[in-house]
Amino acid sequence: MPVFTALLAGLVFGLGLILSGMASPAKVLGFLDLAGSWDPSLALVMVGAIAVGLVAFALARRRTATLLGAPLRLPTATAIDRRLLVGSLLFGVGWGLAGFCPGPALVALGMGELKAVVFVAAMLAGMGVFELLERRRG
């Protein structure tokens, strides 16, 4: 059951990215280009997603189990530290360079775009570097 519901959630997420236009890096960069001719679409994607998310997480916060009875794990970290900020800044630079963040890159990969294959391979390599550095540290 958790596998089926995860498949459904991933599918709906991907459909949302395609419908919203966010699977196209050129459209994302149109939002990030405040000084050029600005496309505000991404802001409306966030408004739509957060409007639903606010209700869902308000419900989730009052529960310790999912509707299917499995443990409900909400993040516990609250620290605003150097790791969070430096990591997010690096992510933002990469996002601004190509217009891809992880979700849209995977959806574009599903469309068979060769450039998305290259981006996702590099992204996995970057995540692998993080794992290696974390293991050395730990």
Partner 1 sequence: MNIDWNAFTPMASLAGGVLIGVSAALFVLLNGRIAGISGVLGGLLRPARGDIGWRLAFLLGLLGAPLVYALFTAVPLPRIDAGWGVLVLAGLLVGVGTRYGAGCTSGHGVCGLSRLSPRSLAATLAFMGAGFATVFVLRHVLGF
CB of 136 to partner 1, least distance (A): 14
Q: Which is nearer to partner 1, 67 or 136 (CB)?
A: 67
CB of 138 to partner 1, least distance (A): 11
Q: Which is nearer to partner 1, 75 or 136 (CB)?
A: 75
CB of 81 to partner 1, least distance (A): 9
CB of 62 to partner 1, least distance (A): 11
Residues ≥6 apart with Cβ < 8 Å to 65: 71, 72
Burial class of 130 by CB neighbour count within 10 A (0 to 12, 13 to 18, 19+):
exposed
For residues 41 and 21, give the distance between their C-alpha atoms in angstroms, rounded to a whole number.
8
Q: Which is nearer to partner 1, 26 or 136 (CB)?
A: 26
Burial 6-18 (b: 16+ CB within 10 A, else e): eeeeeeeebebbe
**Cα atoms in the 13 Å half-sphere on the side-chain side of 47:** 5
CB of 2 to partner 1, least distance (A): 5
Distance between alpha carbon 75 and the CA centroid of its chain, in Å? 16
